[in-house]
Structure 1
Amino acid sequence: MSKTPRSRWGPVRSLLVLAPLFVAGPFYAYRAHYGLPEPIVELFDPVTSLPQVSEAQILAHAKYLSEDIGYRTVGSAEHAAGDAWVLQQAETLRGECEDLVRAHPERKLQCEVWHQQGSGSHRFDMMGRRLYKTYVNLTNIVVRLSDGTEEGKKDAVLVNSHVDSTLPSPGAADDAMPVGVMLESLRVLIHTPDWQPKHAVIFLFNNAEESLQDGSHLFTTQHPIAKTVRTVINLEAAGTTGPELLFQATSEQMIKAYAKVPRPYGSVIANEVFSSGIILSDTDFRQFQLYLNVTGLDMAVVGNSYLYHMRKDLVENLEPGVAQHMADNVHALLLHLTSSDSPLPELATTGYTKPQTVFYEHFGFFLVYSFTTAKILYTATFVLALIVARGTFVNPAPALKRGTSFLGEQIKGVVATSGAFVGAAVGVNVVALIMDKVLGKSFSWFTSVFAPVFLYGPAALSGALASQLIVGRVPEQTTFSSIMVVQSFLGALIQLLGVGAGGTLFVSSYPLIPALVLNAVLTSPGDDISLWSYAIGQVTPLVTGSTLLFSVVDVFVPLTGRVGEEAPSEFIIANIVGVICSYILPLTVPFVQRFSRRILIRLVIFMSMVTGVAMAVFCMRSPFDAMHQKRLYVIHMENITSAEQHLHVAGADGAPGFHTLAADIAKEFSVPGVTPTTVVMDDWNSDWDTIYPFSAFLTPYKFDLPLRPEHQDPLDPDFKITAINDKVDEVAGTRSFTLVVTHPGIIWT
């Protein structure tokens, strides 16, 4: 018995039915992505009386370092004050530890503190440049907790943060908060009655990370216990909100250890992006890999990195729960790594090797599996997708006409879906070109990481829909199954090439298999695909894609404010939105193919109008505000020999208005009648050597300043030029003499 044909719903009714899914999916992803624990205030649990990690205590430490002491640039008085304060905290905790051990002599716990001091030099390669660093009388604070035996000390986990900060940032997040996390972890471990470490844990409060990792170099190359380190947990911050991101994980053992934390947040994609060098940044983690050949985890708070290395990096701008999230995860890691189940003895023999492990969070589960498992799983999914596509294939030709082959239909579907992807890319790049080059309104999205979605999302959808007008009619069933086959194939191919990011396409393709099987059960051949199938097929792309979008824009939108004027920031952000939106809504093509060409034209016109309205709205926005500031670099330089003065001003982004600002500064401060022009920024521009090699990102101006009044006085009467040893050789026709210059001060000859 054949099934009763169903009446076709229009696009509006169909979208209204699916609307709850399109709202619930991103909302769930948002809550899961940005969710933070409730901050804990009490130092001890009021019920169990056991010590607990307290965010309030962490922030108190961070506030003292960042605001009571202030910015701690290496070599400054504030830097020395920070070093002395952390040393005092470490000594206090050691005293508490010794008191507890005396009170309970059966407890196997030893606490040791070192105030390391040393000098050294090292080569530092960054941004394609080679630098040689030298440091003198640098200090570190080192604390080790162990069971007091040589066996317990031979394999250790190292936790690292840095006490210094960079000018002009107070460094509440970077890196005073991680320092507070480590101090709290020390306190809780020491005061936990039944905690006895099977393996040692070393806390390194290094004093010079911002000066290109001198502190970690000093420890790794000169401290006597450095050779006992088997793995590293590095704590950093490039932002002030959201959970800390695991962006480097260098062994399968440590990834599995990280899976045991209460709130894991990281993926193989972040790991591969950072290790690829796309993001020109680095941490102390490099020194531990380079000089100790150890594996580990590199974690950092990255949300709201607009405040990274800025004056507003204050405790008041740290989101509640950020410190608690990091501290809970670090504490759980230390409990595991110092237990009898620790992988430290195994890591002692393996050292640093590139991990062959896929890891990511999926609907509340932190999944970890090997590359081998991934290759088998993704390939099997591709084969199953082919079987389902063939088994559910419906010949679109009428019964009395010659049909087309399955392969031929799949090729049509691939062309249609590929065309939509290309169309989305064209759409966002056209809008980016207009905003940047025609209207001069680039960076209009900069003040919110989500703003680019509202500007370039409609453009991506407009381009994808317009492409289907060119491709023409392709059966809905064909495009649906083609997406399943293409995504599963690409997921398997990328994984076979040794790139773990192929898992992203795997998790979006596998739900399409049951979706097509269900459609075969619910509908008759030739019917529209069931909306239930769309719902099943869209759930994972909506949730996973939204999570991916949040992670990427959190990093890259603020990053455009410090990558230089020459970087095509508008096009970078536009293409990020275009690609991820294509991933989030993969079933757009089959959905529009179920309707007539007339409806498709209306949809294209409507989305084009939405795109135009979005552009108009964004043209009225300012790129910067009080909490999303432009980075302006200023140097006032005086030549004490020539008395010349110059004002150097530079920007590090491509937002409009900087050159006008430079002209206004010149008008106000420079000598009259001088037209400001940019100077060449290359390796030979010594004016900006203080921030080399980051100076490569700058667009600098150099202004002549009027001479100071004291430099405009007549020449000092003591200034004399005389000649002595004056000899004339009339035969040779030569004269020789010695000039004697008497100059009141410094002179360059």
Structure 2
Amino acid sequence: MTSLGGTALKQRHPTSLRDDPSRTPHDLDALSPPLPANASNKHPHPYQQLNIKSNGKKPRTDKDPFRLPRSTFGACALYLGFLISLAILAFHLHYSLPTPVSSADGALVVDPLTGQKQFSEENVRRVVKHLSEDIGYRVVGTEQDQETQVYLVNEIHALREQAEQESARRSSVALTEGGGVAPAAFPQFEMWTQKDDGAHQFDFMSKVVMKMYANMTNIIVRLSCGPQCDKNAILLNAHYDTTLGSPGAVDDALPIGVMVELIRILSQRPALKKNSLIFLFNGGEESLQDASHSFINNHPLRKYVKAVINLEGCGTTGPEILFQANSRPMIEAYSQVPYPHATVLANDLFATGVLLSDTDYRIFVQENLTGLDMAVYKNSYLYHTHLDLDRNMEQGLPQHLGENTLALAIYVGDNVDVTQLEQTSSVVFFDVLGKFFVSYSLEAAIWSHTAIGALAVLAVTIGACRFTLRSVISVPLSLIAALLAPNLTALFLRSIGRPMIWFSHEWLPIVVFGPLSAAAMLGVQWLFRDEKVSNGENELSTLSGITVLYTILMVAASVARIASSYFIALYSLVSSAALIFNRKRIGKTPGGNISTVDYLTYFVASGIQTLYGIYLGFSLFDLVVPLTGRIGVTVPVDNVMAVVTGFSVFFVSPPLLAFSHRFGPLVLKKTILSLLLAQVAVVLVGTLVLSPYDTMHPKRVFIQHLRNTTSGESLLYVAHADPGPFYDLYVTELEAMYQTKATFRSGFDNPGDWNSIYPFSQFLDSYVLDTTPFIRRLTSNTTLAQSSEPLTSLIHNAPRLVAENTSYDPKTGLRKLSILCTHPNHIWTVTSFDAEVVSWSMDVDVPSKDHFHYVVRNAGGYRGEGWRLDLEYRAKGLDDRLHVELTAMETEGFGKDVERELEGSGDIGVMRKLVKARPEYITLTYFGSVLSHFDL
């Protein structure tokens, strides 16, 4: 056995921190052997020999319950285990839903303990299933749209009869058993069916769209305590129509079912005392919010509406969220709901326009109403797809939305003074882990932020916060590195043709981009580490630098009056408090240098930050990841998710930056290298085994069978809505199916290709297949098969435009005409033209005084006869005609395996063949259109 000399012993067990500045007392403790059970204090433990003092107190002993574990691994494992436990708790709190309440045959359910009527999920699902599966695709203007209206009117009539019967029964019981005392009166139950025409300007996604609608239908119910309540009403709105390609179980049959159940309950209880409730069963939201515009501009009840509660759906799981609100009393009313889920962060994010979505709430706000916009948003992979079905809606979701809306409706009906409501964006609101709701004014927030800033200054004054130039620079650089570094992974994935491998699950971006983000964040700390001071001083200065960054961001956001600044203020508060807590517990060397940040400080600093940060992070990823599947082919979604992941990695637990210095540069270096190796492994494995799409996380594909009556072409347009794999994935299958080669057409160079769904058309690049050869092969008409005559000549009753009452004034240079459109068996006509329009018959201002590209969309009720537009524009003469392109969508094919057959052409096989051959990883939005050009 080789013996160790004195020098070797000194190297193995330095007796002073100055012999090895990177060692902390706990490092020495871990290296020193434990004292034997019978040992005396004559030869004290090496750690005891140091005689380390901490503010005059005795050094901590093994009995200290918060003492650092003896090994580096133990310390890291305990702290990381704590963070993981917080993540598990946040997950449970975030996704928990109430237990569904069952009922029999639409009957009311009464709580046996309280005697109160309960909201029933089963009643809601009965409505949802009938609308989404029995009726199906409820597109405005279709036969299914008409069928839905009949169903809802019958349901509401049945609810009114139930209310009348219950009122009579209670009166009879009260008079016979209650000593002749009449029970509290039930509300007055009134119903209207509205059908109106109108027009409005709809600016969306940087495009100006002029909207016309005809015979647009709304079904309206009012529950009121009488004339004293009628003048002030709260509007509850949901739409029963669906978009193309979706049966709309959650969007928006779920809110429709919720409103039906609310009417059932509220019509069979004593009337609300202060305000009436108006339920708007909205017949045209997906056609760009025509029905809500019709109600709030045309219906007699509009003048009594003082606030709105809008119910929407774009997901199929999890709790609904309050994501838009604009008045203090209505926001405070939300505190009455049993399962609050809300944040002003969503309100601010939605206001930026980054989220390519909108709701009827927009129309009501434009009419100076205040209110709340609530939506189901998790798992929006199925949003606007054929998979938006009742069976894919999570158990407890209808119960959550229903109980919240019922509590809200009762409170605003009984308590809120709606005569003084004013729009404001100066309210901070958020839920605390789904347990209770907090709201306060922006002015109060700024005062609280001032106090938090003062606490940060106090931490500096008493020496608890000891930032250095190094830490003030390194912490924000770590944030920047966390944001930028994962973009290298994104660029690599795109370069090898494997984008979006993370798309199939909301949490996968953390796995794909997280390791490199964390490595870069810690790499900055390794580069900026001060080797001249102890580990502890690096820890404390970094922890202080984090507090400085939070405080600066809080001040900047407060000056900008951003309501979402509460989030950063919370982080600043906790960080300052942790530093002050740490001040009384830090150990020092005999020379006065800081030996280490107290281990418990990290738990104090991370507890609230990490729990709340992860809780919000779930919402962020639930919203953004599925959204990348429908925001267009030009958006670099891998880079978007890389940045979102980097932001989340940094803000989940910033104290990790300080913790990384605890064990010296060698451990930090090994951690960084391990993360880099993990990143390489994830990329290698991910590119081999991960696929962006599967059955429940499908790729969105748009199909349009366009018949151009002007050119005679019969073309199949195929497009997708994300930059993921497409041609080799799907288009090659269609080429083989139709035995023809696809041609690429850029949406930028051909903006009118998808006018039927303008302005969404701006996102769609297309592959185009000529279907004429396929139709000629399929048809049983041998004459047609051998003919060169265009197939479009067989279209009967094609949509057309004619001009009447044309005139030209040579003095003014203005030409007038009336445009008449007829479109039997077609819906959603879109006309586009370029002109300098001076006036028109639409009840909305002309959007431009200059030469302008106009797109006018028209929607209407079932079997609409057409529309008329009177127009006056600047022309060069009477014969300077207006060149107009008209696109009209066919009514067939919306969820029912039907497609119009051109006489003798066999054209019915084009779409049917495509739909039946759809791969499971594809969801189709498909329709047929007819395109024509006219010189009027």
TM over 0.5: yes
TM-score normalized by the length of structure 2: 0.72
Cα 1:559/1:360, change in 2 over 3 Å: same
Spell out the pairing of 1:542-621 with structure 2 (5 A cutoff).
542-619=610-687, 620-621=689-690
Distance 1:660 1:60, change over 3 A: closer
Describe how 1:212-611 pairs up with structure 2 within 5 A: 212-291=288-367, 293-339=368-414, 341-347=415-421, 350=422, 353-363=423-433, 364-393=435-464, 409-437=467-495, 439-473=496-530, 475-525=538-588, 526-611=594-679
Q: Which residue of 2 aligns with 1:631?
A: 700
Residues 650-697 of structure 1, C-alpha deviations (whole Å, 9 max, x = no match): 0111112435532442344254xx4x3421213853231111111111
CA contact (8 A) 1:423 1:465 kept: no
Deviation at 1:245? 1.0
Q: Is the 8 A contact 2:251 2:314 kept in 1?
A: yes
- Establish whether residue 174 from structure 1 lines up as the match of residue 251 from structure 2: yes
SS at match of 1:29: helix
Q: Residue 738 of structure 1 aligns with which residue?
A: none
- Aligned-partner residue type, residue 223 of structure 2: L
Query: Post-superposition shift, 1:640?
Result: 4.8
- In 1, distance between residues paired with 2:474 and 2:714? 63
The Cα shift of 1:345 comes to 2.6
Does the 8 Å CA contact 2:482/2:517 hold for their aligned counterparts? yes
8 Å contact kept, 1:636–1:645: yes
Quick check: which has more Rg, 1 or 2?
2
Q: Which amino acid aligns with 1:555?
A: L
The residue aligned with 1:729 is: none
SS at match of 1:309: coil
Cα deviation digits, residues 451-476 of structure 1 (max 9, x gap): 11111111111111111232232721
Give 1:49 shift.
Answer: 5.4
Work out whether 1:12 is the aligned partner of 2:73.
Answer: yes
CA distance in 2, matches of 1:682, 1:154: 51
Q: Distance in 1 between matches of 2:136 and 2:760?
A: 24
Structure 1 residues 487-517: Cα deviation after superposition (integer angstroms, max 9, x where no partner): 1231132022111111111112212233222
Question: Relative to 1, partners in 2 of residues 1:715 and 1:560: Cα closer, same or farther, differing over 3 Å?
Answer: closer
Q: Is the 8 Å Cα contact of residues 636 and 648 (structure 1) preserved in structure 2?
A: yes
Aligned partner letter, 1:569: V
> Does the CA contact (< 8 Å) of 2:747 and 2:753 recur in 1?
no
1:208-230 Cα offsets, whole Å, 9 max, x none, are: 11101111111111100111001
- Report if the CA contact (8 A) 2:489-2:513 is conserved: yes
User: Is the 2:236–2:277 contact (alpha carbons within 8 Å) kept by the matching residues of 1?
Assistant: yes
Letter in 2 for 1:51: K
What are the residue-to-residue correspondences of 1:112-151 with 2, within 5 Å?
Answer: 112-149=190-227, 151=228
Give how far 1:532 is off: 0.6
- Please, which runs of 5 or more residues in structure 1 have no aligned partner? 395-405, 720-745
Distance apart, 1:703 and its partner CA: 1.8
Q: Is the 8 A contact 1:392 1:516 kept in 2?
A: no
CA distance in structure 1 between the aligned counterparts of 2:417 and 2:469, rounded to whole angstroms: 49
Aligned partner of 1:89 in structure 2 is: 155
Q: 1:425, 1:463 within 8 Å by CA — same for their partners in 2?
A: no
Task: Please report the TM-score for the alignment, with normalisation by the length of structure 1.
Answer: 0.89
Q: Distance in 2 between matches of 1:390 and 1:696?
A: 57
Equivalent positions of 1:693-732 (< 5 A) are 693-707=759-773, 708-709=775-776, 710-714=783-787
2:156 corresponds to 1:80: no
The Cα shift of 1:748 comes to: 9.9
Cα pair 1:94 1:113 within 8 Å, conserved: no
Supply the distance in 1 between the matched residues of 2:552 and 2:619 (Cα, whole angstroms): 25
Shift of 1:637: 2.3
Alignment of 1:109 with 2:182, yes or no, is no
* Letter matched to residue 260 of structure 2: L
Q: Tell me the distance in 1 between the aligned counterparts of 2:375 and 2:429.
A: 17
> For 1:408-448, what per-residue CA distance to the aligned partner results, in whole angstroms no more than 9, with x for missing partners?
x53221112122112212321111111222x3221111110
Q: Does 1:189 pair with 2:266?
A: yes
Question: For 1:109-158, what per-residue CA distance to the aligned partner results, in whole angstroms no more than 9, with x for missing partners?
Answer: 21100011111121111111111112211211000010121x21101000
In structure 2, how many angstroms separate the alpha carbons of the residues matched to 1:639 and 1:59?
A: 43
In structure 2, the partner of 1:727 is none
Residues 1:191 and 1:530: Cα distance change in structure 2 (over 3 Å): same
Instruction: Give unmatched runs, 5+ long, in structure 2.
Output: 1-55, 62-66, 172-181, 531-536, 589-593, 777-782, 794-931
Q: 2:744 aligns with which of 678, 700, 705?
A: 678
> How large is the Cα RMSD of the aligned pairs?
2.3
Residue 556 of structure 2 aligns to which amino acid in structure 1?
L
Q: Is the 8 A contact 2:241 2:252 kept in 1?
A: yes
1:699 Cα deviation after fit: 2.0
Q: Distance in 1 between matches of 2:627 and 2:240?
A: 24
Aligned-partner Cα distance in 2 for 1:207–1:683: 35
Contact 2:720 2:726 in 1 (8 A): no
Give the number of equivalent residue pairs.
Answer: 697
- Does the 8 Å CA contact 1:171/1:314 hold for their aligned counterparts? yes
Counterpart among 237, 242, 252 of residue 160 in structure 1 = 237
Q: Identity over the aligned pairs, expressed in percent?
A: 34
Identify which range, 705-714 or 609-618, moves more after superposition.
705-714
Distance 2:121 2:358 in 1: 27
SS at structure 1 position matched to 2:215:
strand
User: Structure 1's 677 and 466: CA in aligned 2 closer, same or farther, altered over 3 A?
Assistant: farther
Paired residue type of 1:695 = S
AA matched with 2:518: L
CA distance in 1, matches of 2:579, 2:787: 92
Change (3 A) 1:393 1:224: closer
Closer/same/farther in 2, CA of residues 84 and 206 from structure 1, 3 Å limit: same
1:390 to partner: Cα distance: 3.3
CA separation of 1:17 and 1:712: change in aligned 2, threshold 3 A = closer
C-alpha distance in structure 1 between counterparts of 2:357 and 2:185, whole Å: 43
Match of 1:397 in 2: none
Q: Is the 8 A contact 1:670 1:705 kept in 2?
A: no
